[in-house]
Amino acid sequence: MIRRNTHLILKRGFIEFYILQLLSKGQIDIHQLIKKLKDVSLLWVEGVIFPILFDLKRNEYLLKENSSSEDSPTMRLYCITPKGADKLAALKAEWGEIEDTTHEFMTDEAQ
């Protein structure tokens, strides 16, 4: 059984990965981001996302811009940085290794 802290660490890491992947497709506002995370059951409490976004911004993986117009209130828009794109590429490579290892483990386990 996975301990709760381990589960939360894994989930947080996957949320970071998912956010960078979403941003690689274009900028997104905070409301769309929250909806997409909820749609794939990665967000259980909305407040969880803000520390993650803060860390991604602090590490220069994303930029936050405020956008406003006469027709709409101020929106927080997020976009990926070149450093964030490099981080995403590294995460994808790591994920591939995890998939391979898991597949090998599960195959060995079945035999």
pLDDT of residue 109: 58
Instruction: Give pLDDT, residue 48.
Output: 82
pLDDT digit string, tens, across residues 38-84 = 888 877 677 788 899 999 999 999 998 887 766 667 788 999 999 99
Two structure tokens written together for 49: 């996302």
Q: Which amino acid is at 13?
A: G
The pLDDT of residue 103 is: 74
Q: Tokens for 95, please give them.
A: 């994920």
Q: How far apart are CA 29 and CA 76, in angstroms?
A: 6
The reported pTM is 0.79
